[in-house]
Structure 1
Amino acid sequence: MSDGAGAPRLTKDGARFSVHAPDASALWLCLFDAQDGEARLPMERGDDGVWQVAAPGVGAGARYGLRADGPYDPPAGLWFDPDKLLLDPYATAIDRPFVYDPALAAPRGQGGDTAPLMPKGVVEAGLPPVAHRPPLFTPGGLIYELHVRGFTMRHPDVPAAQRGTIAALGHPAVIAHLKALHVSAVELMPINAWIDERHLGPLGLTNYWGYNPVSWFVIDPRLAPGGMAELRQAVAALHDAGIGVLLDMVYNHDGESDSQGPTLSLRGLDARGAFRHAADGRLINDTGTGNSIACNAPAMRQIILASLRHFVQQAGVDGFRFDLGPALGRMDHGFDPDAPLLQAMRADPVLADRVMIAEPWDIGPGGYQLGRFPAEWQEWNDRYRDDMRRFWRGDAGMAGAFATRIAGSSDIFPGDRSRTVNFLAAHDGFTLADLTAHAQRHNDANGEQNRDGHGENFSWNNGVEGASDDPAIRAARQRDVMALLATLFCSRGTIMLSAGDEFGRSQQGNNNAYAQDNAISWIDWAHRDTVLEAHACSLAALRAAEPDLHGIAALTDADVEWLDEAGHPLAVAQWEDPDRRRIVLRYRQSGLAICVNGSAEPCRFHLPHGAAEAAARSILVSRPER
């Protein structure tokens, strides 16, 4: 019996390697010298399916890969091919990024040796563990979602050598902007090593977002040339500024895709154990990407937990957001909030106090699980996004939904703590500015005839589709975004802002810019809307100063009263009026009043009079010119 699979372990005379491959008949550790010459060491199989080998003389910096042999029967989930050099699933660094090549997906005996095409794993000693500390982020704060590369590629104050890298996040100009917005935590879109989808190369495109990982330990060298040390330094700089760091992790699938995809790591070692399969042997595709990780299989549960601990202990991150989160709790009978992986995450001493945020949906059976994750988790609330968009678009009958969402979505998250993460826009969809300028998506640059991306965005264009030189239209759109931002910052629960939405970032109407590593996606700092930015910063300061606004308990009638514009309690008939566009939410104890005018016309609000109301403060959430 072995100690289980894990990262290479340095010993006094070399290094020891261990790999889980229970169905393999042979396994080799492949060591590469400076000229890419290869030496193969046979590995020995243990009773638990873990193969091990000691490599004398191997130290930190050594480059390596794996080769596995065994039955080749893809319909049965067996992909063994010794011509395929494989990345160790527990490798913590690679010598270069992944680049897709058709030979990586060639059937056994047809593609030749893939070693020249594959990044090599790099043996690391590891950094001393970061001292464990409570997360800086607490529910009710502002999460700022950003793409490491796109956030700073065009930032004029960041040195050219740092632009597009994790190191840039620690730059004083970046931190100053985050502080002005009172950001509680940045949420970094995936930083793990990824590979392009095979259809992108012929289109002249590359994967930009990074939601196609090959490794859950390795940081992609394109984002962090300095590896884990670079992330650690950036996290420390943000922590010193009082800002937490969350990582967006993708455990629902990997970059090996469907049956026509490349063999890079898990597929060549333990495909039957790593991926979910139907009864007839087909890969289950609950993700829309070609495969689905068997997250609750023991070996996969072990690697997921180890990779999460890796980023906490080596970089000190505060928590994680999980892409297509139902995958973490999916069992044969469906989603289970008490699935073994979710239980293990709660029980793990390193992970138990970390911030955990689910994107609570995927496209599999029973894939929509909003409100069903464990009680200590937070969840992206797409009901908030859609209802608030529809209210400001002018859809009829949205007053009740607006009130429920701004008050913390008690219909979804009952109890004394709302777990909602309220957002109006995220990486996946329109930017906030494009939401008010495009009634339809414009994804032609993606090369899929505008068929990709969400078709229903609850968006509008103020009478002209796309960019406009008309000052009146531009002003109307700015006021729309101001109203949307005010709504977000006045909402109970955690809120999330997508980077650049605070100053009018546009993607030219592209609502699925996953393959646009260019000016469509990169934030244009030089031409940002400074009026809108000042408005957002003012709202952020107001929210930070008002305990009522950043509270996490969903509001009840004991906390607030709902009034009409005349200051009278809203009657049932008024709530049911499909044209109701004006609402006052007034906190009973503090007197704080949020006056919402969702109509196109100005309105004078009247609040009740009396001693308690004398100190009342009011916030106007409106788009008409004042």
Structure 2
Amino acid sequence: MTDTDTPLKGGKPYPLGATFDGKGVNFAVFSAHADAIDVCVFDETGAREIARHRLPECTDEVFHGYLPDARPGLVYGLRAHGRYAPEEGHRFNPNKLLLDPYARRILGEIKWDDTLYGYDVQSGDDLSFDERDSAPAMPKAVVTEETFDWSDDVRPATPWNRTIIYEAHVKGLTKLLKDVPEAERGSYKALAHPKVIAHLQRIGVTALELLPIHAFVQDRRLVEMGLANYWGYNTLGFFAPEARYMATGEADELRAAIKALHAAGIEVILDVVYNHTAEGSELGTTLSFRGLDNKSYYRAMPDDPRYCVNDTGTGNTVDASHPRVLQMIADSLRYWAESFHVDGFRFDLGCTLGRNGHNGFDPRAGFFDVLRQDPVLSQVKLISEPWDIGPGGYQLGNHPPGFAEWNDKFRNTTRLFWKGAGERAEFASRISGSADLFDERARRPWASINFVTAHDGQTLADVASYEEKHNEANGEDNKDGSDDNNSCNWGVEGPTDDPAIIALRGRVIRSMLTTLLTSLGTPMLLGGDEFGRTQNGNNNAYCQDSELSWFHWDHLESPQGHELSDFVRRLTAVRRHYPLVRSSSFLHGRNEIAEGVLDIDWFDENGQHLSDEDWQNPEAKALVMRRVRRRPDGMVEAVTMLMNGGPEPIEFTFPQPELERYLVIDSADPRCPEREVGPSITVQDRAVVVVVGTGGL
């Protein structure tokens, strides 16, 4: 039974969404082009609509109304009335139940059928109009009330130059962790398990970066193929935590996990997807934004508003230059920062958010300005993935101060160098903080998020074990995923029993980890790389919600896995202990620390400065980077990296002056103790040695 005679009072246009005030619920929904909006109330299961109320007022393009006596737990959806004129960019269809963009809890999942489309999907003609009710196939919003006690929570507030990021998937991290009760594995609650926290602390990471946890949609194509959208880059609701990861069914378990991680000194960063939504192209579904105001929420082709701009490769592009859309993004970020105490955000395809309509990327775009001036958001960590597939879509180094950026040049150059195919000059730029990209407008080295592997691509073990991608399990005939991995199998594709190849692979892996954790910039470690996690060569496991992607914690307990994780622990300890390794300022080799000793300098294996000709020599694979500072006690301290990217051992002579030197890391011998070294040292093939020297210069 439904009732279109509204009992609603006028209510208020702010805040947007459904807000309980102790006596009732205020509804506020933005739409610049709708004629009317209804609130549909459902029973507690979401199966039956029991009332329908027209929002009685519209102020500044916000429809609003107040329902007295409504309580938290009320289940509802929206219907928007207006013109159905796709050729003009309007796609209103009141037969389609819509999710409130500000919903903080979502009940149920999408049940895929053709009623979810605003047009007759079988005809393929998006100018047609579908009159079937989509409510039975739609999830619904639930009114919430938040009472979590944060009183004794202390945010770690880790300085950027001390930050070490660990990227992981909520489910994949603990799904196979036997220490966790079976019902809690793969959940938010499991993030706070003592075994997880102890491991993160042991290896020395300071921030856990989670792949998307905003409520997302399982793509129809993947469901029909028997696969899943594992990564979650298909957002349906920007305010609601993904319910699949709840062991208890309550969002407070995520809050409790974040609180426990904070108590352990670990920050939480969320990978967020505001560049597109789950509704797809103009031939996609009508689930929320499209039905409420397609013309406002999405960028359309300037010469034909019927079609979506597709700078994201997903079918649609959110119009972050629209004031109300930008408000929604900022409101969402602030909600996660305040209600969940999240410490930072990584913006998927962040370049898209910096586009001013059709004018291309602009570092002064409203998105950047809003975040940088916001008293809450300006104080959290902000990280951008600085590219998309749109025109001029590669913007590494061009984001404004306050933002860090994923540096894929660091990844590519590091892989090439240890493969034996990279050039020394480019490698030197990357490991010294990529000043050529970031040293402008008083930005610091931390702005470069250095990584060798990430969720999108091969694991580190696979980078050293496969030369080709192996994505057959994805059901796309191995055509998906990048063909350009800069990986090397060192003689055998995939697993091998050959001890020489196993040893070489281990050395290469440790050399790349050493490069990552001793370079200037902010290191990001892909979860599981510290104990040899493999995806069997799959470099695009977005659809693999299976043991292929999940962490096999038994590998950590193996001798090889324990040795590798212990090596990572040693590397992070070196990074913490020596300020030169994590310098908060760029070093340019212009400051003289002692007579003839510069703050950063470069040498060959003979301890001689590299000439211009040397830098351009593609055959040379030896490189020495020395960083120097004067300590508060007056002593000079030097951190020297001696790198051999070639196929044979090389004897390195240390550059002058003479110092008292101690070897602290040798990627060829992960268990070697710290020891004093003389004026020269042999570095094995594909290996790096880190030496700390002190003297009274």
SS of 1:222 mapped into structure 2: helix
Q: Once the two structures are superposed, what CA deviation does each residue of 1:419-467 show, in whole Å capped at 9, x if it has no partner? A: 1000000001111111111111111111111111111111111122222
Match of 1:250 in 2: 273
- Larger RCO, structures 1/2 (Cα 8 Å, 6+ apart): 1
Consecutive unaligned residues of structure 1, counting only runs of 5 or more, are none
Q: Which of these residues, 335, 344, 351, is aligned with residue 326 of structure 1? A: 351
Distance 1:3 1:106, change over 3 A: closer
Match of 2:650 in 1: 603
Distance 1:219 1:511 in 2: 27
Q: CA offset at residue 482 of structure 1?
A: 0.9
Identity %: 43
Q: How does 1:498-513 map to 2 (within 5 A)?
A: 498-513=526-541
SS of 2:241 mapped into structure 1: coil
Q: CA offset at residue 101 of structure 1?
A: 3.4
Greater mean deviation of Cα atoms: 295-304 or 37-46: 37-46
Distance 1:157 1:569 in 2: 53
Q: CA offset at residue 159 of structure 1?
A: 1.7
Q: Aligned Cα RMSD in Å?
A: 2.0
Flag the structure with larger Rg.
2
Q: Is the 8 A contact 1:190 1:249 kept in 2?
A: yes
Q: Which of these residues, 548, 565, 572, is aligned with residue 612 of structure 2? A: 572
Q: CA offset at residue 156 of structure 1?
A: 1.9
Distance 1:572 1:594 in 2: 20
The TM-score, its normalising length taken from structure 1, stands at 0.96
Match of 1:296 in 2: 321
Q: Which of these residues, 528, 552, 564, is aligned with residue 524 of structure 1? A: 552
Q: Is the 8 A contact 1:60 1:122 kept in 2?
A: yes
Distance 1:75 1:352 in 2: 40
Q: 1:600 is aligned with what amino acid?
A: P
SS of 1:46 mapped into structure 2: strand
Distance 1:593 1:500 in 2: 28
Distance 1:488 1:467, change over 3 A: same
Q: Is the 8 A contact 1:130 1:315 kept in 2?
A: no
Q: Which has the higher strand share?
A: 2
Match of 2:34 in 1: 24
Q: Which of these residues, 337, 346, 361, is aligned with residue 372 of structure 2? A: 346
Does residue 378 in structure 1 map to residue 401 in structure 2?
Answer: no
Q: CA offset at residue 100 of structure 1?
A: 3.8
Distance 1:192 1:353 in 2: 21
The TM-score, its normalising length taken from structure 2, stands at 0.86
Distance 1:270 1:584, change over 3 A: same
Does residue 146 in structure 1 map to residue 134 in structure 2?
Answer: no
Q: Which of these residues, 114, 133, 136, is aligned with residue 134 of structure 2? A: 114
Match of 1:463 in 2: 491
Match of 1:125 in 2: 145
SS of 1:411 mapped into structure 2: helix
Consecutive unaligned residues of structure 2, counting only runs of 5 or more, are 1-9, 121-128, 592-598, 630-636, 669-683, 688-697
Distance 2:228 2:471 in 1: 15
Q: How does 1:45-444 map to 2 (within 5 A)?
A: 45-105=57-117, 107=119, 110=130, 112-127=132-147, 130=150, 136-140=157-161, 141-224=163-246, 225-279=248-302, 280-281=304-305, 282-331=307-356, 332-395=358-421, 398-415=423-440, 417-418=444-445, 419-444=447-472
Distance 1:89 1:593 in 2: 53
Q: CA offset at residue 48 of structure 1?
A: 1.9
Distance 2:22 2:206 in 1: 43
Q: How does 1:525-564 map to 2 (within 5 A)?
A: 525-528=553-556, 529-557=561-589, 558=591, 559-564=599-604
* Count of matched residue positions in the alignment of Structure 1 and Structure 2: 624
Greater mean deviation of Cα atoms: 25-34 or 496-505: 25-34
Q: CA offset at residue 547 of structure 1?
A: 1.1
Greater mean deviation of Cα atoms: 566-575 or 381-390: 566-575
Q: CA offset at residue 45 of structure 1?
A: 4.0
SS of 1:201 mapped into structure 2: helix
Q: How does 1:30-45 map to 2 (within 5 A)?
A: 30-34=40-44, 36-38=47-49, 39-45=51-57
Q: CA offset at residue 168 of structure 1?
A: 0.9
SS of 1:41 mapped into structure 2: strand
Distance 1:390 1:487, change over 3 A: same
Q: 2:214 is aligned with what amino acid?
A: N
Distance 2:78 2:149 in 1: 28
Greater mean deviation of Cα atoms: 293-302 or 46-55: 46-55
Distance 1:220 1:134, change over 3 A: closer
Q: CA offset at residue 389 of structure 1?
A: 0.8
Q: Once the two structures are superposed, what CA deviation does each residue of 1:45-89 show, in whole Å capped at 9, x if it has no partner? A: 414221112212210111111111221123332221122111100
